Amino acid sequence: MIRLTLSEIADRLSGSLHLEGTDATGDATVDGPVETDSREIVPGGVFVAKRGDDTDGHLFVGAAIDRGAALAIVEHPVENSIPQIVVADAVQALGELAQYVVERVRADGNLTVIGITGSNGKTTTKNMLERILSGEGETVAPIRSFNNAVGAPTTMLRITESTRYLIVEMGASGIGHIARLVALAKPDIGVVLKVGLAHAGGFGGIESTLAAKTEMVADLAEDGIAVLNADDPRVASMADKTRAKVVMFGQDASAPYRATDVAGSRTGTSFTAHAPGEDPVPVRIRVLGEHHVSNALAALTVAGTLGVPLARAAAALETLERAERWRMEVLGGKDDVTIINDAYNASPDSMSAAIKTLAQISEPGKRTIAVLGAMSELGEYSGDEHDRIGLQLVRLNISQLVVVGPEARRMHISAINEGSWDGESVYFGDMDAAYDYLAAEIIPGDTVLVKSSNSARLRFLGDRLGELFSW
């Protein structure tokens, strides 16, 4: 965080500064990282004691002091020898502090803020864009998937006076969530990747999801840029909902930033990138799945609007070894066995895309195995969407389906009800049983996809299989 005085922070947060039991004054300054987890505090850091569903951050102020915290932002005074700013709502205060820091840096420096949202692909696109922009200037981007009311401000607070680019991933599970984050960060560039059924249970349907994602571009300034996916009609429709300049990307021939000659294999994905006024550039990314071409195009489009030549941006993109831990992460290798661990998140769209990738990259005569768990937060759509995935597996002629966990069992039932399958699908109630089966079932040359929502925890099964077949 940039250096601020205690009084300055208290004034901005409309908080009460408590210095009892300390040697500090209001003119004392802090500039350490801001954290809501006391275990992440480093000397000089700021601890925000937020209340959670399972615990209360105020119980851990002492632990934060032990790790060297210089300031605690709390909702009531805590008997500890540390400067404290008492606020009405710690999470709201975190956002207000982030907003103030971005305003200060933007006013004093050369900061560009890029916001990214979409039902799928946010984290992958964020990582791709960070790889490109970090070669152009100091860049701050979220750690993992920090994209909510806590994670996004925490990312924003990591900027310094010399930060050139701030990438903010903006997730939502309801109307108004993205609008609040946009109000804090005030993006210069807003990116919308896809509108799908992820978190549909919270949104209440696809039209509500569309309304929520539109919040990314609805409040962009007139001199801002809306980067929209031309291949998704719902996203493309947002062009009429923004004052900002619109720049489209996609495989659609009308998109100024587009991809042709798309091809995938077990080692990556290739395509030819096109940009206005530049020669086409062949690109090969080490991220599996043709659906990630859209994410790569989004990153290349943002880079292009910022003046980065296409060839230079593509070269940087090619150095990215993986999208993110547990996202189409390639493991294994022993006995020509490939384990694709993509079990950090799962929506109907991303599940379908991953299965298509599994079918496409398998070598002739080799087996494909899909190890699948539940897709969460689908609400009333859950049953139908799990059924649809079960049918897709059969129709794509996946060699073997292994369904894990009771919440995913409908995929197994749908698959075995298809007359063309006879024993290709098996069901296990827990990961240990599935692991024992797979350890004995997988043979040389197999390609294995492990996919589920985070709550199903199949990512750990993927890791175990990756270790089993590692060199």
DSSP-assigned letters across all residues of 182-204 = HHHH--SEEEE----STTHHHHT
- pLDDT tens for each residue of 228-287: 999 999 999 999 999 999 999 999 999 999 999 999 888 889 999 999 999 999 999 988
Burial class (CB in 10 A: 0-12, 13-18, 19+), 467: exposed
Compute the distance between CA of residue 123 and CA of residue 129 in angstroms, rounded to an integer. Answer: 10
Burial class (CB in 10 A: 0-12, 13-18, 19+), 364: exposed
Q: Are strands 112-117 and 257-265 parallel, antiparallel or unpaired?
A: unpaired
Which tokens sit at 57? 């951050």
Compute the distance between CA of residue 78 and CA of residue 20 in angstroms, rounded to an integer. Answer: 11
Q: Report the predicted TM-score, pTM, of the whole model to 2 decimal places.
A: 0.87
Burial class (CB in 10 A: 0-12, 13-18, 19+), 252: middle
CATH 3.30.1360.200 fits 4-90, yes or no: no
- pLDDT tens for each residue of 175-227: 899 999 999 999 999 999 999 865 555 556 788 889 999 999 999 999 999 99
User: What are residue 167's DSSP bridge partners?
Assistant: 114
Which tokens sit at 200? 């549909």
- pLDDT tens for each residue of 347-369: 898 999 999 999 999 888 999 99
Which tokens sit at 384? 């139908």
Location of each CATH 3.40.1390.10 domain in the chain: 4-90
Contact 34, 44 (CB under 8 A): no
Name, in order, each residue with C-beta under 8 angstroms of 182's C-beta and a sequence gap of 6 or more: 115, 170, 190, 215, 216, 219, 220
User: What are residue 71's DSSP bridge partners?
Assistant: 46
Which one, of 127, 293, 273, lies nearest residue 194 by Cα?
293
Which tokens sit at 461? 């099964």
HSE of 71, CA atoms in CB hemisphere, 13 A: 30
Contact 373, 404 (CB under 8 A): yes
Location of each CATH 3.90.190.20 domain in the chain: 329-468
User: What are residue 369's DSSP bridge partners?
Assistant: 400, 448
Homologous superfamily of 329-468:
Mur ligase, C-terminal domain (3.90.190.20)
Predicted pLDDT of residue 194: 94
Which one, of 61, 58, 69, lies nearest residue 32 by Cα?
69
CATH 3.40.1190.10 fits 109-317, yes or no: yes
Compute the distance between CA of residue 159 and CA of residue 142 in angstroms, rounded to an integer. Answer: 11
DSSP-assigned letters across all residues of 308-353 = --HHHHHHHHTT---SBTTBSEEEE-GGG-EEEEE-S---HHHHHH
Burial class (CB in 10 A: 0-12, 13-18, 19+), 349: buried
Compute the distance between CA of residue 434 and CA of residue 373 in angstroms, rounded to an integer. Answer: 11
Compute the distance between CA of residue 335 and CA of residue 333 in angstroms, rounded to an integer. Answer: 6
Compute the distance between CA of residue 19 and CA of residue 3 in angstroms, rounded to an integer. Answer: 19
Amino acid letter, 112: T
- CB neighbourhood size of 25 (10 A): 12
Please list the ranges in the chain whose pLDDT falls under 70: 197-204, 419, 421
